[in-house]
Structure 1
Amino acid sequence: MTAPLLRIEQVVPHRGAMLFVDRLLSCDADNVVVEADVRSDHLFADDLGVPAWVGIEYMAQAIAAWAGHEALQRGESVTLGFLLGTRRYECTRPHFAFGTTLRIEAHREIFGDNGVGMFSCRILDGAEEIAKANVSVFEPRNPGAFLEGHAP
């Protein structure tokens, strides 16, 4: 029997207005799929919807869901990670329309022992791929110490 999927709040450390993704659909050692509902109360919403550049953060939060899920599978706590950057972000729309449910997929290309990883990501509206990018992330062993400048 397959274990039930966790709630998004269990695997992503973001809270309140900074939590952009709504549901964890699937997760395994190399892949994660989440959904995000595009709402008019989104932190970055304007009159036309949510700007396309926010897609990078949707992708980053999908990766956060993967990292959180992996941590829980190892019996560890969900911790902070950091978006290092993106390569070749392309989006076919200037905005994500209100009322749209986006499907965000991330595939682990590499994740080193040093906490640096690269994921290929895409955003879909139904069956249509509307955005894609390679996203680099960093998950320090001790995020608190790292933020204080006490860890490599």
Structure 2
Amino acid sequence: MIPWSLAELLPHAGNMILLDAIEHCDEERIETRLTVRNGGLFNRADGSLPAWVGIELMAQSVAAYAGCRARRAGLPVELGFLLGTRSYQCNVDHFPAGSELRIQASRSLEDDSGMGVFECRLLGPGIHVEARLNVFRPPQAARYLQDPVHD
């Protein structure tokens, strides 16, 4: 069981938090879930979510993974960046309203500079999505954003 709310783990606020819950998180992977509901920021008129939102769901799952690791280590949650997505393969063009989606992200690479690669899957009824996310969490991200020049 994860003792923190998503708002405590993600550098997002309000309606920008798209996930409903964390099902599991350990040192190598996370599993999150959400039910597609009407009225969200990215919903179509019929309540569905366009399939491209799957990238954001995967990225938020990776951010929640990083947030859990930080909290367990007694550190603050830091801002991170999605650098790119490779091989986003999705068998649908939208996620229907009412669909229960499960997102899995497994760390495949992480280095001391803050670079990481995650293998991600999003599954639901008749839905199968896979992608590899490249992410970056700079040390002291707040200072990184304030510096006018970066090496």
Q: CA RMSD in A?
A: 1.4
Structure 2 matches for 1:67-146, cutoff 5 A?
67-126=66-125, 130-146=128-144
CA contact (8 A) 1:21 1:34 kept: yes
In structure 1, how many angstroms separate the alpha carbons of the residues matched to 2:130 and 2:82?
Answer: 16
Q: Which residue of structure 1 aligns with residue 2 of structure 2?
A: 5
Q: Does 1:33 align with 2:31?
A: yes
5+ long unaligned stretches in structure 2: none
Q: Which residue of structure 1 aligns with residue 60 of structure 2?
A: 61
Shift of 1:50: 0.6
Matched AA of 2:84: G
| Stretch moving more, 139-148 or 110-119 | 139-148
SS of 1:39's partner is coil
Runs of 4+ in 1 over 6 A off after TM superposition: none
In structure 1, how many angstroms separate the alpha carbons of the residues matched to 2:85 and 2:74?
Answer: 30
CA contact (8 A) 1:44 1:51 kept: yes
Matched AA of 2:12: H
Shift of 1:21: 0.7
Shift of 1:129: 5.3
SS of 1:72's partner is helix
In structure 2, how many angstroms separate the alpha carbons of the residues matched to 1:50 and 1:36?
Answer: 12
**How much identity, in percent, do the aligned residues show?**
39
TM-score, normalised on structure 1?
0.91
Shift of 1:10: 2.2
CA contact (8 A) 1:122 1:129 kept: no
TM-score, normalised on structure 2?
0.92
Shift of 1:149: 2.6
Matched AA of 1:50: L
Matched AA of 2:101: L
